[in-house]
Amino acid sequence: MAVVKYDFEYVKGDSHQILVEDVGEVDRMYMTVKCPSGLVRIQKKYYRDPEEGKTEGIELQEDGSYLITLEPQDSDNLKCSLKYNYDIQIIVGKVKATIVKGKLTLEEEITCCRNEV
């Protein structure tokens, strides 16, 4: 399976969703975001078997795709304009594969929660 390169930007404090399609049924899926120093800043997880761990931020859809949601608070400790490395990895049985990797960049928010009425 080839690794898809996908860079994206979104506004700090907003939600952002990524739809992962055509991977079939997976046992586990992770999306990990790291700062340039290697420190993990965000990790989203999916476990087919709830005994293995708690699913957070990745939902299996009715059509078999997986929806990864970055919540507004996920960007609280991220800096605007800095390029963060991320990847999406799946595990099926004993096979582990990185299917997507790229750069995530946050843009500055204009309207933030303290300005919302």
Order of all β-strands in the sheet with 16-20: 16-20, 66-70, 58-60
CA 30, chain centre distance (Å): 7
Is the model's pLDDT at 29 over the cut of 90?
yes
Is the model's pLDDT at 117 over the cut of 60?
no
Neighbouring residues of 53: CB distance < 8 A, sequence distance ≥ 6: 28, 45, 47
Task: Compute the distance between CA of residue 81 and CA of residue 29 in angstroms, rounded to an integer.
Answer: 27
Does the domain formed by 4-108 have CATH 2.60.40.10? yes
8-state DSSP, 82: P
Helix, strand, coil shares of the chain, percent, nearest 5, are: 5, 50, 45
Assess contact for 13 and 75: CB atoms under 8 A. Answer: yes
pLDDT in tens, 41-80: 999 999 999 999 999 999 999 999 999 999 999 999 899 9
pLDDT of residue 2: 75
AA identity, residue 70: L
pLDDT of residue 1: 64
pLDDT of residue 3: 87
8-state DSSP, 3: P
